[in-house]
Structure 1
Amino acid sequence: MAETLLFLLLILSFFIIAYIIIFFTTIVLHLPPSPPTIHLIGHLHLLTPSLYKSFHSISIKHGPLPHLRLGPSRSLLLVSCASSSASIFKTNDLSFSSRPAFTFADKLPYGTSGFITAPYGPYWRFMKKLCMTELLSGRQLERSMSIRRDEIERSVKRVLENAGVATAVDLGAELMKFTNNVTCRMAMSTRCSEKCEDAEKIRKLVKESFELAAKLCFGDVLGPFKELTFWIYGKRAMDVSKKYDELLEKVLKKHEDKRSSSHRNGDDNERDIMDIPLDDSYQSLLFGSIHCRHRDFSRSYAMGNGSAEAMQWAMAELLNHPEAFHKVRNEIESVTQNVRLVEESDIPNLPYLQAVVKETLRLYPPGPVTTRECNQDCKINGFDIPAKTAVAINLYAIMRDPEIWEDPNEFHPERFLKEKDDQSSDYDYQNDDKRMEFNFVPFGAGRRGCPGTALAF
């Protein structure tokens, strides 16, 4: 009897201590403000399929740093102003150097092994170094320059052929074909929009994998019912992973054969991204397999699609703004003299074209929202941010902030230019990283920013 009473007293003491700890922790922590919630669903009723626009609406009504609750157990810090994003991208960059992992990442093959999804640590740092020294090195980009030039010529030729017979051109489809072919040829030396069965399969798998990822991530907001989404979609996700493995193993085998042939013939100039994991110096660090990189390979296709969409927006804005269109055309004609196509080496001499690109990316960023996770307790704008807090940085809202940008919803490339002197109408491209202080972040920033940002400009 005495032992039972003692046991009950211990349990009661445990709950009292736990309650006291939770109570005082809640009082001590100075958390960001939170909009009114609905029981169980939290703030899910404030979200729409256009997530970045719904985030923008929330920040307009409830301030630039609201704390949201998604479902019964998932919390999210929403960042929608440049000063707060600077705290994450710069001041507390190391504290926000990881991305939030969705619930079922550990149940899927290579769920946290890719460069995009890997937690911050030695493996991620190695992959970042590999990306910067191999994939985006000056030597590799110079090798692939002929690929980009060839695809530009092919694309222009197709458009001219259609114009010659007065046939309408689906500009979106043409740009998608162009970017996919460039990506595919740089990645595995084959074109993906012609008669390429493997590449077409990969394109379909990319689409399916992103659709499944969105459905699986929804399980994070279901609390105790989160296992339901994996029970429904888990098998499909596993099947997609296996299909990736089969296709990429096939491509890898072709590259091994091609690599052996090149070595025998003394020719090692034809090198692409898929050759890198075949190097002896990298195989042990990459676990001797390309399997774990299929998610990043799908991301490369997604980025190619993002580039196509950005070009479509740029063309649409130029057509809707004839004055800007004529400025771009006159600038290009002054450089090429209408006797050749624009080359990559011409870009420094095309400041207004660069301004058009940057203004397009400001209005229509490829990834409107980027995510982080706080890996240690820190402060932002005086608020306490506990460890393991998921963060969504709304790049769309930051680059349309009326307190920073004049007429933020208007297409005005001149905002990125300055006159050289009072007597000249020539423009000089500004160093926006120094001038804007994280006001212009179409590809994110900090350790987790896009490693190809410099190349994009």
Structure 2
Amino acid sequence: MADLQGFFLPFIICLVSLLVVQAIFRRTRIQSRLPPSPTALPIIGHLHLLAPIPHQAIYKLSSRYGPLIHFFLGSVPCVVACSSEIAKELLKTHENAFSSRPKMLAVDYLTYGSAGFIFTPYGPYWKFMKKLCMSELLGARTLNQLLPVRSEEIRRFIQMVLTKANAKEAVDVGLEINRLTNHIMSRMTMSQRCSDNEADEVRELVQSILQLCGKFNLADCFWFCKNLDLQGFGKKTNEARKTFDAMMERIIKEHEETRKLNKETSGDDAPKDLLDILLTISEDESSEVKLTRENIKAFILDMFSAGMDTTAVTIEWALAELINHPDIMNKARGEIDVVVGKKQITIVKETLRLHPTGPMIVRESIESCTINGYEIPAKTRVFINVWAIGRDPNHWEKPLEFHPERFIGEDGKTQLDVRGQHYHYIPFGSGRRACPGISLALHMVQTTLATMIQCFDWKVNGGDGATVDMEEAPGLTLPRACPLICVPLTRLNPFPSLE
């Protein structure tokens, strides 16, 4: 009994203290003109209102509380924007105040202490990596040099689909596109092509890392849980980073040995892939920032995390929409058959409007500022609901319909660039922390999707007229609730040579 009393008394004191602190927070919120907020529960705050899919739940809350909502994830203060007008204030008018990322324990550990690029806090190192991405790693010159790699892998993918079509076998579209993007990213970053088994291992590792980064972590939201591992995240993140680190150490050592041999034999140490570029910069004593081994590993992880799953998810959603809208599929094919033109571009744009691969942008305020007449304190976690903004009826006619022609103006030219200049359409973010890999992503999605619909019909179970379930699943990159399983039928006869 004494042991039980010794356990429960500190717990009760802690609980009462938390309730008092939360009451003070609420009173302070009223006095300090924070945005509207739903009723919170003790300790957990508003977590009960955000299940099962946060961006959908917040979208519904915005119809009652307005486009800017204040809420608590446990003890963490947050605001969420659900309109393009608020997004513009956050991403443009007050860009300096919202240029950083919140520190989340699993993400921080998996990225070697936020040593990469995507989750790095705003500062000199992030500015250096941004400049490096735009000028070297993901610049036009590098992407053009690696174009043959992407083209060859797409041809191999089409050959695989053709084999399935001839055998009348079904294709798990998401799985196979993930393998394709894995092969492309592996060859672009490390000049290595994985076997299908190895590609599946890398895909599962990346998806595991994305799940760990996207799942709710008690330690991020409750200060008294920071040193506890109640959900087993510590073990999972340790295993994931250990696996990734072992793979990267092997590949980096192989690159270092090859570079050394090339210097000794021919004096040629010119970069062959993105890892070579990073190693060259790390060896440059005059470099503005000294890249460490951890920086290199974390950046390669960023490339796989941001480039592999997101591309596959976009293509999977696009094909699903086209199967459900055969009239649009036929229009797209007609234009592609004549000359590959703007139809495939608008299909990708419309897919990204309805199914953005990053449904919510996450930032953290560096300093206090006023948004739409409300005060946003420093160190507030900020979410911008890209999914909701893309469905806003104030900016989109019939927003829930798949209608790619909405991106073609009366003059026949495509409208609304994807690079974040129009705040009611920001699938890749906006401002200085917008995705630096837009050009690579668009090339991979447009080319692969156009080839898939030009060369094959895609049939789902249920016979002619059967439609695809469009339900979403929880996740960092907007995965589908049900995998897209199709039987490809060869459309071209004779089928063109893939050599």
Distance in 2, matches of 1:166 and 1:214, equals: 37
Alpha-carbon spacing, 1:104–1:318, altered in 2? closer, same or farther (3 Å): closer
- Matches of residues 104-115 of structure 1 in structure 2 within 5 Å? 110-115=112-117
The SS at the match of 1:190 is coil
Aligned match of 2:234: 234
Alpha-carbon spacing, 1:368–1:354, altered in 2? closer, same or farther (3 Å): same
| 8 A Cα contact 2:101 2:363, kept in partner | yes
Deviations 1:126-171 (A, max 9, x none): 1111111111112110111001110111111111122223222222
| 8 A Cα contact 2:92 2:431, kept in partner | yes
- Matches of residues 39-188 of structure 1 in structure 2 within 5 Å? 39-71=42-74, 73-102=75-104, 110-188=112-190
| 8 A Cα contact 2:420 2:431, kept in partner | no
Aligned match of 2:209: 209
Task: Structure 2 unaligned segments of length 5 or more: list them.
Answer: 1-23, 443-499
Given candidates 392, 408, 417, the residue that maps to 1:401 is 392
State whether structure 2 residue 352 is matched by structure 1 residue 361. yes
Distance in 1, matches of 2:132 and 2:185, equals: 18
Aligned match of 2:376: 385
| 8 A Cα contact 2:115 2:299, kept in partner | no
Distance in 1, matches of 2:240 and 2:50, equals: 29
Q: Normalising by structure 2, what TM-score?
A: 0.76
Larger deviation: 107-116 or 249-258?
A: 107-116
Distance in 1, matches of 2:204 and 2:40, equals: 39
Alpha-carbon spacing, 1:138–1:256, altered in 2? closer, same or farther (3 Å): same
Given candidates 308, 317, 321, the residue that maps to 1:317 is 321
- Matches of residues 213-224 of structure 1 in structure 2 within 5 Å? 213-214=213-214, 217-224=217-224
Deviations 1:383-429 (A, max 9, x none): 11111111011100000011111111100001000233xxxxxx321
Q: How many residues align?
A: 416
Q: CA deviation at 1:103?
A: 5.0
The alignment-based identity, stated in percent, is 41
The SS at the match of 1:371 is strand
Q: CA deviation at 1:357?
A: 0.6
Given candidates 415, 431, 440, the residue that maps to 1:446 is 431
Larger deviation: 387-396 or 156-165?
A: 156-165
Tell me the amino acid that sits aligned with residue 352 of structure 1: K
The SS at the match of 2:67 is coil
Distance in 2, matches of 1:42 and 1:82, equals: 26
Q: CA deviation at 1:213?
A: 3.5
Task: Structure 1 unaligned segments of length 5 or more: list them.
Answer: 1-20, 336-348, 421-426
State whether structure 2 residue 335 is matched by structure 1 residue 331. yes
Alpha-carbon spacing, 1:107–1:369, altered in 2? closer, same or farther (3 Å): closer
Alpha-carbon spacing, 1:265–1:93, altered in 2? closer, same or farther (3 Å): same
CA RMSD of aligned residues (A): 2.8
| 8 A Cα contact 1:443 1:449, kept in partner | yes
Distance in 2, matches of 1:205 and 1:23, equals: 41
Aligned match of 2:250: 250
Alpha-carbon spacing, 1:202–1:159, altered in 2? closer, same or farther (3 Å): closer
Q: CA deviation at 1:232?
A: 4.1
